[in-house]
Amino acid sequence: MHVVVCIKQVPDTTEVRIDPKTNTLVRAGVPSIMNPYDIHAVEEAVRIKEQVGGKVTVITMGPPAAVQVLKEAVSLGADETVLVTDRVFAASDTFATSYVLASTIQKIAGSEPVDLIFAGKQAIDGDTAQTGPGIAQRMNLPLLTYVEKVRSIDVENKKIVVERRLEGSKQIVESTLPALLTVEKEINDVRYATLPNLIKAATHNPKAWDHTVIEADRTKVGLKGSPTRVGRSFVQQLTNEPGEIIEGTPQEAVVSLVDKLFAEGHLVADR
């Protein structure tokens, strides 16, 4: 079983702030992390390898610094990694990104057939959830999004059964392999990296491929290959009356708040 996992390095959006004066994103000093959903994708791939045997290859498209997340994937149990990196990829939207990643997977499959592809449900920097569906469509593979559980894998008959999250229910589906799955965090609990894997990660050197290696058409990547463009960006604010801050020590503030709630009739005592 050869599993390929697509991971993305993202800024930790919980650390991103908006400069109140300029209304722009403050990214300086914000750590880069592996997209949280992708960690679960790597974990699931490694679990499947442990269960049925095989190999896990992790790929990312990004700047040279993205080597970091590939090393982290190795610490979680990945066998091989590829950094797809090239200046011409800069400013790719999800349409162009899925082209680059699909081309990369096709290249990998050329030397070693791929049975299963994992992506995260979405990347937290953009929350688009479009890259996975884009790759599946380009490779003409069945797409199973929002997977919360892999129920079974039948290696011999090349079949997989998963549970997918829907609004208010889960759908149980069977698909032929190869297939592309995007995963929710519920799919597993990520285990701690083992010492041997940590050592392996420390010395690991990902392959670096540019557009020529994956035989990608230059006009289909980067800004040129991206149909969407970002126009204006801004900070959204609600326009309403600011509220009243209740001053005092915690105890005073609490009493005065409760007084107001009673006085205004929002609360009434039981007796």
Partner 1 sequence: MSMESHRGVWIFLEQNHGEMAPVSWELAGAGRRIADKLDTELAGVLLGDNVEDLAKQAFAYGFDKVYLVEDGALKDYRNIPYTKAVSMLVEKYKPEIFLLGATTMGRDLAGAVATEVQTGLTADCTELEVEEDTRLLHAVRPTFGGKLMATIICDVLRPQMATVRPRVMAAPEQQEGRTGEIIREALPMKEEDIVVKVLGYIQENVKTANLDEAEIIVAGGKGIGEAKNFKLVEDLAEVLGGTVAASRAAVDAGWIGHEYQVGQTGVTVRPKIYIAIGISGAIQHLVGMQTSEVIIAINKDPEAPIFKTATYGIVGDLQEIVPALTEELRKRLAGESTTEGVEVASN
Ligand X SMILES: Nc1ncnc2c1ncn2[C@@H]1O[C@H](COP(=O)(O)O)[C@@H](O)[C@H]1O
Binding mask 174-193 for partner 1 (x = CB under 8 A): xxx-----------------
How far out from the chain centre does Cα 89 lie?
19
Q: What is the dihedral of CA 237, 238, 239, 243, to 10 degrees?
A: -110
For residues 199 and 261, which CB has a smaller minimum distance to partner 1 in the complex?
A: 261
Residue 37 touches ligand X, criterion: CB under 6 A: yes
Least distance (Å) between residue 161 CB and partner 1: 7
Among 75, 81, 85, 131, binds ligand X (CB under 6 A): 131
Rounded to a whole number of angstroms, the minimum distance from the CB of residue 53 to partner 1 is 24
Residues 229-248 that bind ligand X (CB under 6 A): none
Largest Cα–Cα distance of the chain, in whole Å? 80
Q: How many CB atoms lie within 10 A of CB 82?
A: 22
- Which among 126-134, 137-145, 206-214, 236-244 is the span making contact with ligand X, rule CB under 6 A? 126-134
Per CB under 8 A, which of residues 107..126 are in contact with partner 1? 124-126
Residues 132 to 151: which contact ligand X by CB under 6 A? 132
For 5, 157, 217, the CA distances from 176, given in Å and listed in that order, are 18, 8, 30
Distance CA 252, CA 199 (A): 56
Q: Is residue 54 within the footprint of partner 1 (CB under 8 A)?
A: no
Partner that binds at residue 37, options ligand X, partner 1, none, CB closer than 5 to 8 Å by kind: ligand X
Q: Per-residue x/- marks for ligand X, 80-99, CB under 6 A?
A: --------------x--x--
Q: Is the peptide bond before 63 cis (omega within 30 degrees of 0)?
A: no
Q: Which of 1, 3, 4, 6 binds ligand X (CB under 6 A)?
A: 6
In whole angstroms, the minimum distance from the beta carbon of 92 to ligand X comes to 8
Smallest gap, in angstroms, from Cβ of residue 134 to ligand X? 8
The dihedral sign for the CA sequence 181, 185, 191, 192: positive
How many residues touch ligand X under the rule CB under 6 A: the total is 22
Which residue, among 58, 60, 48, 47, has the nearest Cα to 1 in the 3D structure? Answer: 48
Q: What does the angle CA 88 – CA 111 – CA 178 come to, to the nearest 5 degrees?
A: 90
**Binding to partner 1 by residue 155, rule CB under 8 A?**
no
Q: Pick from 63, 84, 60, 85: which is nearest to 73 by CA?
A: 60
Nearer Cβ to partner 1 (55/138): 138
The CA-based dihedral angle spanning residues 102, 230, 145, 60, taken in that order and rounded to the nearest 10 degrees: 40
**φ, ψ (nearest 5 deg) of residue 126:** -120, -20
Q: Which is nearer to partner 1, 195 or 230 (CB)?
A: 230
Binding site for ligand X (CB under 6 A): 6-8, 35, 37-38, 60-62, 94, 97, 101, 119-120, 122-123, 126, 128-132
